[in-house]
């Protein structure tokens, strides 16, 4: 499969009064033809800057970008192909539809810019409207339509030029949850019909998981991990990715004489095997639904229920492990009362180094700038 989007050593530095910010730090990325690829990460991690560099709205401090086999940005060669010549479809949150134009004119706009003749424009607009279920609304103005229909106008305008690559930046964020779900499905359907490659930027990890073939998780301008949604969830490379995707339970532990203890409490060991490269202090990570909660077990960690919360589809318990409270989620059939004694077992925990204070400080700085 060909690579439709290639980023080689792409870096973007912004200079501001409060200091330089490396918004994108040496990104290397290959997105395959026909793939739906998401950029995911907290605010300020560099998602939008990367997308803007691909679109051609932002130059590169270092590196180069190739789209469908053509070099479109290169810092070394001082090459910069303007956005309108990159052959991209775009639906950006800020790129709302034009309220003073009717649906037909909104969708026809990119073709008029290309100076296409009226007969061809009519044909292509009719096709784009058909695929976005807007046929019959040609003369309506966006203000008279629902949020979902307005977003479909933006999609129709993006597909009308038949682009090979579609950039979607938080395209569903203004819609209510039910509509978001159906629009997600419609985007995938359009992708199948028109066979374009998608880059999807979102804050919403469950949305990214549902729509993506692969995802890139970034933090503070750095790529943390690129993989399928399943692998990112099941094999996160670090604590940040673990915490970012799905719910996490972390326990700070110390290792002494080959045994694992909750930090600040050596009265009872946790029965788990220790990786060979473990330091004396570590973080043990798991998911709240991957901790076994039983009445008693010789190999389990003995504790009691501190809190019980009914969450319609499951029950959430908090139990103490040393000085820490650990979150567990179980199906309804596993029933414990508050203060009841119990045992917990960590099924397949992952191990991470303890938090780096410098990293925390940099994360806070980036959110202030």
Residues 300 and 269 sit within 8 Å (Cβ to Cβ): no
Footprint of ligand ATP on 21-50 (CB under 6 A): 21, 23, 41, 43-49
Rounded least distance, CB 169 to ligand ATP, Å = 8
DSSP string, 98-138: PTTS-HHHHHHHHHHHTT--HHHHHHHHHHHHHHTT-TT-T
Rounded least distance, CB 235 to ligand ATP, Å = 23
* Residues linked to residue 304 through DSSP beta bridges, in sequence order: 341
- Out of 6, 8, 13, 14, the residue judged to bind ligand ATP by CB under 6 A: 14
Phi-psi region of 85 (alpha: psi -120 to 50; beta: other; left: phi over 0): alpha
Within 195-269, residue ranges assigned H as helices are 205-211, 229-234, 239-244
Rounded least distance, CB 1 to ligand ATP, Å = 28
User: Judged by CB under 6 A, how many residues of this single chain contact ligand ATP?
Assistant: 15
Across 306-345, b (16+ Cβ under 10 Å) vs e yields eebeeeeeebbbebebbebebbbbbeeebebeeeeebbbb
Which window, 16-24, 109-117, 147-155, 305-313, contacts ligand ATP (CB under 6 A)? 16-24
- Select from 299, 355, 303, 352 the least CA-distant residue to 328: 303
Strands 249-256 and 259-262: antiparallel
Query: Looking at beta carbons only, is 52 or 131 nearer to ligand ATP?
Result: 52
Footprint of ligand ATP on 201-240 (CB under 6 A): 203
Query: Looking at beta carbons only, is 222 or 308 nearer to ligand ATP?
Result: 222
Query: Looking at beta carbons only, is 29 or 282 nearer to ligand ATP?
Result: 29
Query: Looking at beta carbons only, is 18 or 298 nearer to ligand ATP?
Result: 18
Residue 57 contacts ligand ATP per CB under 6 A? no
Rounded least distance, CB 14 to ligand ATP, Å = 3
Residues that bind ligand ATP (CB under 6 A): 14, 16, 21, 23, 41, 43-49, 203, 366, 369
């Amino acid at each position: 499969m060909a690579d439709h989007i290639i980023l080689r050593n792409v870096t973007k530095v912004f200079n501001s009064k409060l200091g330089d910010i490396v918004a994108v730090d040496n990104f290397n990325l290959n997105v395959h033809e026909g793939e739906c690829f998401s950029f995911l990460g907290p605010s300020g991690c560099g998602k939008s800057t990367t997308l803007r560099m691909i679109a051609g709205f932002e130059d590169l401090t270092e590196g180069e970008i190739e789209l469908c086999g053509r070099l479109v940005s290169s810092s070394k060669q001082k090459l910069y192909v303007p956005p309108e010549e990159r052959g991209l479809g775009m639906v950006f949150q800020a790129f709302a539809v034009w309220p003073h134009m009717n649906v037909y004119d909104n969708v026809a706009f990119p073709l008029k810019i290309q100076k296409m003749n009226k007969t061809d424009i009519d044909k292509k607009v009719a096709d784009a409207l058909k695929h976005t279920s807007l046929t019959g609304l040609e003369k309506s103005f966006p203000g008279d339509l629902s949020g979902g229909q307005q977003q479909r106008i933006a999609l129709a305008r993006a597909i009308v030029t038949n682009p090979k690559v579609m950039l979607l930046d938080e395209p569903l964020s203004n819609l209510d949850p039910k509509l978001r779900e159906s629009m997600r499905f419609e985007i995938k359907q359009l992708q199948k019909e028109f066979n374009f490659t998608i880059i999807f930027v979102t804050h919403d990890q469950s949305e990214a998981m549902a729509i993506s073939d692969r995802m890139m998780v970034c933090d503070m301008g750095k790529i943390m991990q690129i993989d399928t949604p399943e692998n990112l969830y099941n094999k996160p490379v670090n604590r940040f990715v673990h915490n970012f995707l799905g719910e996490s339970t972390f326990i700070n532990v110390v290792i002494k004489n080959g045994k694992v203890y909750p930090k600040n409490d050596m009265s009872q060991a946790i029965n788990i095997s220790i990786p060979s490269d473990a330091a004396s202090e570590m973080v043990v990570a798991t998911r709240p639904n991957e901790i076994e909660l039983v009445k008693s077990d010789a190999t389990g960690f003995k504790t009691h229920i501190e809190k019980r919360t009914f969450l319609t589809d499951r029950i959430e318990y908090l139990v103490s492990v040393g000085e820490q409270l650990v979150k567990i989620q179980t199906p309804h059939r596993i029933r414990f009362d508050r203060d009841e004694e119990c045992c917990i077992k960590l099924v397949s925990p992952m191990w991470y180094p303890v938090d780096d204070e410098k990293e925390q400080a940099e994360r806070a700085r980036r959110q202030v700038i």
